[in-house]
Structure 1
Amino acid sequence: MNAFHLTDIYIYPIKSLGGIRLEEAMLEEKGLQYDRRWMLVDQEGTFITQRKHHQLSLLQVRIEEDHLSVGHKEDEELKISFKLAENTGESIEVTVWDDTSVGSEVSKTVSHWFSDYLQFDVKLVRMSDEEKIYVDPRYAANGEIKSFSDGYPCLIIGQSSLDGLNEKLDEPVQMNRFRPNFVFSGGEAHVEDRFKNFRLGNVLFSAVKPCARCVLITIDQETGIKGLEPLRTLATYRTQNKKIMFGQNLLHVGAGLIKVGDEMNIQDWKSIG
C-alpha cells in the first residue's frame, strides 16, 4: 500500500464563500479553526448557499491578523473587513438544514454590505465559542459537535479521486468545487472510501459517512457559472442509494496542529462488500 500524505488544507471561514488554503491549521473540537464559523442568513435565519446564489463563489475570504476580509475576485473596489471577534448586532436563531442554533450578527454595516451584493436582505452571523451543534447521532457515538458546516466537522478527498474524475471529463474541474478540508496523495481513486480510522499528527480521525454531492459542484468557483458537470458524469459511476458520493465525512478525537506534508497513518480499514 502506498504511503498517504496530506497535500492541502482548506478552511471556509464564511459558509458557502471562497476557501483559504493553509500550510498548517489548528484542529479544534468543532473542526479546523475558523472553518465555517461565520454564515450568511436570510430574514428568517435560514442559511444562504451557493446552491441558489452562485455569485457567492466570487467572494474571496482572507484572514489578516485579527481581521477577516472579503473581496470580489474580479472587482478590487468591492471589499470589506471586520474583526474576527466582532459581533455588535443581535443574537438570532439560525438554521442549517435540520440543525438549529444561535448566531450573533457581526454588525449592521457588514450585513448591509452583503445585502447590497446579493440584492436582498441578509445578515452575517458568527458562531460563539460556546455554541454547540451536535452531529447526527446515527454517526456520532460520542456527542461530537460541529460548526455551521452541513453535517460534519471535516471532509477529506484523495487527489487520485479527482484525477480519476477528470480523466472522464471533457473539461477538467478543480478540487475547490468539492470544498474539502483535507486533500491527500497516494492510493487509487476513492481509496478514502475504505478508510475507517487514521491519524494525522496527534489526532485520530474516523471516516464515518460518504459525502453526498449536490448541484453546488456544478458551479465554477472562478466564474460563478453553473453547468451540468461534474455531477452528470459522477452519477454514472458514484451513485449509491440514489445519492452521488464523493469524499468522506470525518469525525475526530482530540485537538492539535495539522500540517501539509503530514503522513496519514491508517489504523483500520473498512471492508467494502
Structure 2
Amino acid sequence: MPIISALTLYPIKSCAGISLQTATLTEAGLSHQTLRDREWMLIDSNNQFLTQREYPRMALLQPELADEKLMLHAPDMPALEIGLIPATPGTLVQVQVWDDLVPAYDCGATAASWLTRFLGVNCRLVRSHPSSQRCANPKWTGDIKVPALFSDGYPLLLISSASLEDLNQRLLAQGRAAVPMDRFRPNIVIDGVEAFEEDYAEVLIIHKTNAAQQSIQLQPVKPCPRCPIPAVDQASAEVGPNPVDILQSYRSNPLLEGAVTFGMNTIVRQGAGQTIAVGDALELQLAF
C-alpha cells in the first residue's frame, strides 16, 4: 500500500526546509500553523530572486517555527526573528520570480543586514503579498487557476523513495556516493510504489476516516526539470558532482524538449484545507 513517508515545508524559497509529521493542504502548497510553503524569498538589489543555484550557502539558512515566531538560524550567526504578524507591514515592492513580476512586502533592514552578512551579497527578505496573482502554468494544470506563491512554478513537488533508490543504485554502480532525498527538495515523499511510478499517476487519493470529510486528491501535472541545485550538499553547502548527469542517460523527457526530469509537480484537486500526515495511505490511480 503506498503511503506518505515524508513531508517538508520550505518557508523561504531555496533555504532549508522544516520536516513535518502533519501539514495542511492549501491550493498554494503545504502550510503548518501560520507558515506557508515558499511564502518568503530573498532578492538582490535589482529585486531578482536568489536561489542556491548561484548562492549554495542558502542551504545553511535553517528556519524554525518557535512560539508563534519564525526563527532563522545560520552557522556563526545569532538567530534572526522574523515576525509572522508584523505590527506594520513592510514596504511594498515588485519582485521578479522567473518571468513573473509580483508584489511583496519588504521584511526590513534588520533581516536584510543579517542575510547580507551571512551570504556576502547585498540582499533582502520579502514576503508574498496577499494581492499576488502568480499562478502555475495553465498549460499543465488544465486551465485550472493554481496559486504558486514563490515556488518555481507549482505548489507541491512529489517524489517516490523508489525513484531515489533507483538513482542511488546507478550512482553506486559508477563508484559515486549515494545522495539523500533533500538534494531534490520535495514537499511530499511517498513509499510503496515502483521507481518513477509517480510519473504515470493520474491522481493520488487519500481517503479520510472521517465520513464528513472529502477524500483528498493530488494530481501530478508536470515532470520537474532539474537544475544545478542537486549538486549542493544541503548539510554543508558544498558543491560536488551533480547526480543529474547520471539522470541524463535515462531521464531525458521529450515532453520538456529533452530536459532531465525527476519528481512531479503536483496540484491539489480536492481537499484544500484538510490535513495530511506521514503514514497516510494513498491510492495511486495510473493514467493508463
Output one character per residue of 1:237-262: Cα deviation in whole Å (capped at 9) or x when no partner: 11113211100010112311111111
Cα distance in 2 between the residues matched to 1:246 and 1:46: 26
| Secondary structure of residue in 2 paired with 1:205 | strand
Q: Does 1:127 align with 2:150?
A: no
Q: What CA RMSD, in Å, does the superposition of the two structures yield over aligned residues?
A: 1.4
Question: How far did 1:221 drift?
Answer: 0.6
TM-score by length of 1: 0.93
Q: Does 1:262 align with 2:280?
A: yes
Q: Which residue of 2 aligns with 1:186?
A: 192
Q: Which residue of 2 aligns with 1:248?
A: 264
Q: Which residue of 2 aligns with 1:20?
A: 18
Cα distance in 2 between the residues matched to 1:129 and 1:159: 35
| Secondary structure of residue in 1 paired with 2:282 | strand
| Secondary structure of residue in 1 paired with 2:57 | helix
Correspondence list, 1:32-111, <5 A: 32-33=30-31, 34-72=36-74, 74-75=75-76, 77-86=77-86, 88-111=89-112
Output one character per residue of 1:122-175: Cα deviation in whole Å (capped at 9) or x when no partner: 110111344331111111222111110001000100000111111111201110
Which structure: greater strand fraction?
A: 1
| Secondary structure of residue in 2 paired with 1:168 | helix
Identify which range, 12-21 or 222-231, moves more after superposition.
Answer: 222-231
Question: How far did 1:15 drift?
Answer: 0.3
Give unpaired runs (5+ residues) of structure 1: none
TM-score by length of 2: 0.88
Cα distance in 1 between the residues matched to 2:18 and 2:259: 28
Cα distance in 1 between the residues matched to 2:111 and 2:89: 10
Query: Could you tell me whether the CA contact under 8 Å between 1:89 and 1:108 is conserved in 2?
Result: no
| Secondary structure of residue in 1 paired with 2:138 | coil
Q: Which residue of 1 aligns with 2:220?
A: 207
Query: Could you tell me whether the CA contact under 8 Å between 1:10 and 1:21 is conserved in 2?
Result: yes
Name the count of aligned residue pairs: 266
Give the letter for the 1:181 counterpart.
N
Deviant stretches of 4+, over 6 Å = none
What fraction of aligned residue pairs are identical, expressed as a percent? Answer: 34
Q: Does 1:155 align with 2:153?
A: no
